[in-house]
């Protein structure tokens, strides 16, 4: 496992709780960044395992994201990062959750060519959870800016609930939703980062990623953490379908390990 020891400042915590996201620089050392890039490149091409490629080349979704879910189940090098307490512990401190479990990881590549933005959305409506107490770390494995798919976040939008799930291939306008009336898209922060840095965002925070107009993939690893005790809502999801979970049952056990 990675050492923990990332200094989370009072300012990081205050900023996250107020705005629903925060940037944390250099969460990886240069050597760790190289190691994670190598593991990620290996696992993206590995078919037939326990991770899940959610879209095939040429599909509408692939133009938005070349995504593989639960890379940690296929590659020990990915598990070393995904299951580390370093990221989970920062998530716990920022959120104030009473313990943090893994929901899933996902490698998120924006491919060069006919790349589409990741439309404005909230993550939580996609997740089969009763409680809205889940969040993500998004680690940049390449330097990111508006040309290759950096993220944008709307400060304070994590307070907005009960919005619909956005179709990322044929997106609706999240801001047009009646419940989003008070959210000002012009206040969105554009988060440019160096590789090895990251953001944390609440599952309800409005976010977006630019299209990749460069010649190289934009590589990111996101890990979804939930508060220990979060329960299954019964909704369909690739990570819970087929597990025989009863609605209202806690998401726990070896597939959803407690990390912090």
The residues binding Ni ion (CB under 5 A) are 123
Q: Which does 149 bind (CB under 5 to 8 A by kind): ligand SIN, Ni ion, none?
A: ligand SIN
**Cβ pair 200, 135 in contact under 8 A:** yes
8-state DSSP, 19: H
Contact status: 122 vs ligand SIN (CB under 6 A) = no
Q: Which residues lie across from 105 on neighbouring strands?
A: 223
Binding mask 12-51 for ligand SIN (x = CB under 6 A): ----------------------------------------
Q: How far is CA 49 from CA 36, 45, 68, 74, in A?
A: 19, 11, 11, 6
Q: Say which residue the tokens 């798919």 belong to.
A: 149
Shortest distance, position 6 Cβ to ligand SIN, whole Å = 21
Cα–Cα distance, 200 to 139 (Å, whole number): 9
Report helix, strand or coil for 250.
strand
Contact status: 220 vs ligand SIN (CB under 6 A) = yes
Shortest distance, position 229 Cβ to ligand SIN, whole Å = 23
Tokens, residue 2: 């990675």
Tokens, residue 144: 């990111």
Shortest distance, position 121 Cβ to Ni ion, whole Å = 6
Contact status: 195 vs ligand SIN (CB under 6 A) = no
Contact status: 118 vs ligand SIN (CB under 6 A) = yes
Contact status: 204 vs ligand SIN (CB under 6 A) = no
User: How many amino acids of this chain bind ligand SIN (CB under 6 A)?
Assistant: 12
What residues have CB less than 8 Å from 257, skipping those under 6 apart? 83, 101, 102
- Positions touching ligand SIN (CB under 6 A) are 65, 108, 110, 118, 123, 136, 138, 149, 207, 209, 220, 222
């Amino acid at each position: 496992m990675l050492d923990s020891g990332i200094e989370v400042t009072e300012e990081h915590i205050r900023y996250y709780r107020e705005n629903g996201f925060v940037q944390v620089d250099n969460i990886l050392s240069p050597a760790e960044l190289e190691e994670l890039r190598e593991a990620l490149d290996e696992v993206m091409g590995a078919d037939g395992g326990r991770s899940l490629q959610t879209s095939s080349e040429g599909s509408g979704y692939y133009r938005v994201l070349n995504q593989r879910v639960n890379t940690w189940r296929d590659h020990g090098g990915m598990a070393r990062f995904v299951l580390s307490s370093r990221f989970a512990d920062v998530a716990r401190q920022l959120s104030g959750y009473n313990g943090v479990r893994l929901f899933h990881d996902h490698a998120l590549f924006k491919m060069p060519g006919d790349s589409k933005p990741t439309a404005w959305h909230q993550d939580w409506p996609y997740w089969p959870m009763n409680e809205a107490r889940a969040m993500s770390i998004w680690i940049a494995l390449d330097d990111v800016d508006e040309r290759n798919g950096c993220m944008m976040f709307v400060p304070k939008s994590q307070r907005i609930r009960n919005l619909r799930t956005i179709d990322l291939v044929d997106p609706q306008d999240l801001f047009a939703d009646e419940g989003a009336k008070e959210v000002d898209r012009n206040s969105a922060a554009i988060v440019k980062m160096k590789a090895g840095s990251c953001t944390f965002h609440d599952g309800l925070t409005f976010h977006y990623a630019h299209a990749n107009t460069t010649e190289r993939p934009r590589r990111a690893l996101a890990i979804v953490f939930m508060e220990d005790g979060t329960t299954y809502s019964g909704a369909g999801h690739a990570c819970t379908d087929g597990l025989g979970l009863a609605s209202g049952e806690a998401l726990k056990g070896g597939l959803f390990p407690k990390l912090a």
